[in-house]
Amino acid sequence: MAVAAPPDYEVHLRDYLYVLRKRRLAIAFFFLSALAAGISLTLFEKVLYRATSAILIEKENPNVVDFKEVMALDASETEYYQTQYQMLKSRSLIRNLIKQEGLAADPYLASLEKGKLRDWLKDQFLISSLPRLRTFLAAPALEDIFIRKMLKVDPIRNSRLVEVSVLHPDPKRSAELTNRLVAFFIQRNLEDRFMISKQATGLISNQLVELKDRVGAAERNLQKYKEEQGLVNIPSIHEDNKFLQDAKLELLKSQAEEAKLAKRYLPEHPKRIHINSQIEGLRTKLESEEKRILASSRAALQYQELEREAESAQQIYKSLLKRLQETASEAKTQASNVIVVDRAGPPPRPYKPKPVVNLLMAIFIGAVGGVCLAFFLEYLDSSVKIPEDVEKGLGLDLFGVIPQAGMRELRNSKNKELFFDPAQRSPAAESVRALRTALLFKLRHSPGCRALLITSPNPDEGKTTIALNLAAAFAQNHLKVALIDADLRKPKIHKALGVNSDGGLTDLLEKQTPFQQVLHADIGGLGFDFLSCGSASHHPTEILGSKEMKDLLENLKKSYDIILMDSPPYLAVADVAVLSEYAQAIIVIARYHCTDKRHLKDLKRRFGNNDGKVLGVVINQVSVREKDYYYHQYYYYGYGNSKPEK
C-alpha cells in the first residue's frame, strides 16, 4: 500500500492534559523547587519594619504680587503634586537627614552600601589595572541608597494625602527617621516660601524706587508745561465756542441778504458795498477765532497726555507700596501648606518578609512555571509518544501497541525477550495476539506464504523481541512459521532462544551446508522453526542480496505459511533495502519515547515507493500508565486474567 500524506492534525484538549499528566514529575519538581525557594526567601530575608506618616499637601498659589507676571505658580495640579513628591526624595533633603541623624554610622545603611560582587570585581587584575573601569564600580552615595532602598513615598488616590515611610530593622528607629524626614520637609517648605517672599519684597522695593522717580518727573513736566503755555485755566478739547457759532450764523444771514440785493442792485450800489464789507469782516473774525481754537486744542491735548502719565505713575506707585506692605506682613506670618495628619509610630509587625504573599507567589510561579516547563520539554521531545504521532503526524498506519512486560511476566518467562506464553493471558501477550490478528487481516488477500520483514530505525528499539514473540503467536494460530535471523551484524535471537549461532543462514548460503542441519525445528516447543544468522561474515549485504538467498526464500515459501525476517535497523545499513525485495510486507518497530519522529519520516523516503510494502508501525514498550488515556483501544488490559467460573 502507498504511504498516504498526513492529514491536518487537530489539537484536542486531551493532548494538553496528556502532556501535563506525562510531565507530572517535571511539574512537581519545578513546583516544589519554587515552593522551597519561596519558603527559603521568607526564612532568610531580613526582617524590616515600615513606619508611615500621613501628610496633607495643600496646593496654594503664593500671592506675593497682584499681577501674574511676577512669581506666578503653575496651577496644574498634577505637575504641582508630582513636584512635591520628588522634593520629598530630593538628595539635599536626604543628605540633611543623614547628617542630622548620623545615618552614616547606621549598620543597616552600611550593609546596603556594601556590594560583594562590586568589591570582588574591583580586586580583579583586569579592572584593577584600568582605573577608568574602576570608576564604574564606585560605591553609590548614601542618599541614593536611602532613597532607593529605605524611602517610600506613596500618594493616596483621589486625595491630597501622601504616605511617607522609612524601612529599618528597628521599628523605633524607623518611626524616628520618618518623623524627622517629614519635619525637615515642612521646614524646607517654609524656608522656600520665605525666600520667595523675601525675593519678591526686594523686587517690589527696587520697582518703587524707579516709580517714585517717574512720578516726580511726570509731575514736574506737567507743571513746566503749564508755566510755558501760561495756562491759568485747564483747556478742554471738547469745550464749545459760542462766539464762533454766533459769527457763523451772522455770516450766513449776511450772505443771504447780499444774495437778495444782488437781484435788485448793481455791484456799485452803496447797499451792496456795505453788505460785502460786513461779510469780509465776519470771515476775518472767523479765521482768527479758528486759529485760536486750534492752538488751544493742541495745548489741551499735550496737557492731558502729561496729566495721564502723571496719574498712571501715581497709581502704580500706590499699588506697589500697598503690595510691599502686604508682602512684608505675609513674610512675618508665613504658614506651611503641609500638614501632618498622622505621625509615624513604631509598627507592631514587620513589613518584610511577607510569608503569605511569598507563599502564594511561590505557588503561582511554581504552578505556571511547571506547566510551561512541561510544554517546553514536550516541544523539545521529538520522539514517538501517542498514536497521533504516527497516524496523523506522519500519515502511517498504526498496527499495534506493545506494552512494557510486567515483572510477573518477566519472572514467569524463561528470558526477558520472550514474554509470549500461550498458556498465559497477560497485557503483553494479548497485544501480540492483537498484532498477529491485524497482520493476518491485512494480508488476507495475499494467497500462499507471506514473508514479513521486521525492522526499526535504530538499534535497541525492540524489533528482535517483537519478531520472536510474533512468531510464537503465529504458531499458536496453527500456522507453520519460520523465523529467520537476517541481522548478520548484531544477531540476538539465538541468545534469547538459548542456541548456538554457528550453523545458520551464512553457512547455508556460503558453505552450502544442508538446510536440515542448520534449521532448528519447533525450537523450545514454541511451535515455529528457527534459522539463526550463522557464522560471522565480512560482506553481509552481498550475501543477503545473492541469488542463493532469493532461492532459499522461494523454497521456504513452499513449506511455510509465515516467514518472519528480523533485519538490522534501516538507518544504519543497507541490508534492509536488499531484504525488502524478498518480503511482501515491511513492519517498522518504534520504541515509545525513544524513536525520533524524524526517523519515521525517513521511512517514506526509503520505502515509500516500494510497491506499498510498508504496512505500518508498531509502537513498542508503551508505559502501562497510558492505558486510560491514548492506548486503551489498542491492547488488552486484564480482561480474561481471572479463571472462568465453574
In angstroms, how far is CA 133 from the centroid of its own chain? 33
Which pTM value belongs to this model? Answer: 0.58
Q: Which residues pair with 166 in a beta bridge?
A: 51, 151
Identity at 539, one-letter amino acid code: H
In this structure, are 419 and 303 located in the same domain? no
Q: What is the pLDDT of residue 34?
A: 94
Identify whether 159 is part of a domain: yes
| Low-confidence residues in the chain, pLDDT < 70 | 1-11, 60-76, 115-138, 194, 196-216, 218-220, 222-245, 247-248, 289-314, 317, 320-321, 323-335, 386, 388-389, 392-395, 405-425, 446-449, 604, 608-612, 624-646
CA separation for the pair 44, 80 (Å, rounded): 41
Q: Cell 516500494, residue? A: 610
In this structure, are 347 and 391 located in the same domain? no
Contact between 628 and 599 (Cβ < 8 Å): no
Identity at 79, one-letter amino acid code: E
Q: Which range of residues forms the domain containing residue 300?
A: 46-352
CA separation for the pair 644, 425 (Å, rounded): 13
In this structure, are 340 and 459 located in the same domain? no
Identify whether 470 is part of a domain: yes
In this structure, are 274 and 420 located in the same domain? no
Q: What is the pLDDT of residue 52?
A: 93
Specify the number of domains making up the chain.
2
In this structure, are 187 and 64 located in the same domain? yes
Identify whether 643 is part of a domain: no
In this structure, are 54 and 133 located in the same domain? yes
In this structure, are 203 and 317 located in the same domain? yes
Q: How far is CA 57 from CA 166, 193, 343, in A?
A: 19, 14, 15
Strand, coil or helix: 69: coil
Q: How far is CA 548 from CA 64, 200, 555, in A?
A: 118, 119, 11
In this structure, are 392 and 340 located in the same domain? no
Contact between 168 and 346 (Cβ < 8 Å): no
CA separation for the pair 377, 599 (Å, rounded): 19
Q: What is the pLDDT of residue 68?
A: 44
Q: What is the pLDDT of residue 49?
A: 93
Q: What is the pLDDT of residue 301?
A: 62
Q: What is the pLDDT of residue 227?
A: 63
Q: Strand (E) positions, 527-573?
A: 529-531, 562-566
Identify whether 287 is part of a domain: yes
Residue 583 sits in a domain whose CATH number is 3.40.50.300
CA separation for the pair 192, 290 (Å, rounded): 66
**Length of the chain counted residue by residue:** 646
Identify whether 565 is part of a domain: yes
In this structure, are 241 and 315 located in the same domain? yes
Q: Cell 560471522, residue? A: 536
In this structure, are 234 and 101 located in the same domain? yes
Identify whether 359 is part of a domain: no
Which residues 6+ apart lie within 8 Å of 333 measured at CB? none
In this structure, are 278 and 422 located in the same domain? no
Identify whether 635 is part of a domain: no
Identify whether 41 is part of a domain: no
In this structure, are 342 and 421 located in the same domain? no
